[in-house]
Amino acid sequence: MKKYWGIAILGMTALFFEPVQADSKAIEQALKEVLPGVKPDSITPSPMSGLYEVVVGPKLFYVSEDGRYLFQGAMIDIKAREDLTESKLAGARVSSLKKVGLDNMIVFKPKTSKHSLYVFTDIDCGYCRKLHSEIDQYLSEGIEIRYLFFPRAGEGSESYKKAVSVWCADDRNTALTKAKRGEAVENRQCDNPVDQHLTLGTQMGATGTPMLVTEKGNILPGYVPAGQLAKILAQESE
């Protein structure tokens, strides 16, 4: 798998910049100097005085108002007992997924859609296959499944090649179902979004599959049965 910039900055707890004037443009300039090519999607004041929230794709960082320090981690409102970072991250994930677009995903639609679910999948993953073997159950619950590829073995692996072949098939939905059953799919090459999916999944912190992302941007790490998932999504929408 390629070493994407998102992986490199995941482990950062603090970066040092030259002190600058406290405003979003100055902070953006400070970031450009240390992380060239990385353009924040937004820079806004955080709930904590002296810190700004910096959203880059599906990631969230905090930068001191003097532009000198950058932090990554959860901001907790102790009094309200609320994780302020996670709610912000959820919105960033949804925005990033929308940028990918449904045209760059393999979508299984129910007759009547009540909810949608993004699924980062590995064709050869056991629980991914189990989830897909029950696709009719998810559809009957009114859950639209939107697949993105996350071959865990990385670029060039057999799972990666299968993902590309599925995408390049004449009927992607049918090809994906065949591949999930362990059936052979014709090897094909074409322009595909598999690298884009891998990058996004990595930035979101995917370590295993399936990784489920709800329509509100919350992550469910692993297989969830259709009936249970329908209840989770219904509660999330309340």
pLDDT above 90 covers what percent of the chain?
A: 69
Query: Any idea what the CATH number is for the domain that residue 41 is in?
Result: 3.10.450.70
The band of 165, judged by pLDDT with boundaries at 50, 70 and 90, is very high
* Least confident interval from 55-59, 92-96, 128-132: 55-59
Range of the domain at 38: 5-97
Catalytic residue among 124, 125, 129, 146: 125
As a whole number, the mean pLDDT across the chain is: 88
Based on the fold, state whether residues 216 and 108 are members of the same structural domain: yes
Based on the fold, state whether residues 222 and 111 are members of the same structural domain: yes
Task: Specify whether 190 is catalytic.
Answer: no
Catalytic residue among 93, 129, 146, 152: 152
Domains of the chain: total: 2
Based on the fold, state whether residues 139 and 87 are members of the same structural domain: no
Task: Specify whether 128 is catalytic.
Answer: yes
| Per-residue three-class SS string for the chain | CCCCHHHHHHCCCCCECCCCCCCHHHHHHHHHHHCCCCCCCEEEECCCCCEEEEEECCEEEEEECCCCEEECCCCEECCCCEEHHHHHHHHHHHHHHHHHCHHHCEEECCCCCCEEEEEEECCCCHHHHHHHHCHHHHHHCCEEEEEEECCCCCCCCHHHHHHHHHHHCCCHHHHHHHHHCCCCCCCCCCCCCHHHHHHHHHHCCCCCCCEEEECCCCEEECCCCHHHHHHHHHHHHC
* Least confident interval from 19-28, 112-121, 124-133, 140-149: 19-28
On the question of pLDDT at 156 being above 70, the answer is: yes
Entry pTM: 0.84
Quote the pLDDT of residue 26: 76
> Average of pLDDT values for 189-205?
96
List, for residues 3-43, the tens digit of each pLDDT value. Answer: 444 434 434 433 434 433 446 777 887 777 777 777 889 99
Based on the fold, state whether residues 224 and 153 are members of the same structural domain: yes
Task: Specify whether 168 is catalytic.
Answer: no
Quote the pLDDT of residue 15: 41
Domain boundary among 34, 65, 97: 97
Catalytic residue among 122, 124, 129, 146: 122
Catalytic residue among 93, 124, 128, 129: 128
Based on the fold, state whether residues 178 and 195 are members of the same structural domain: yes
Quote the pLDDT of residue 27: 81
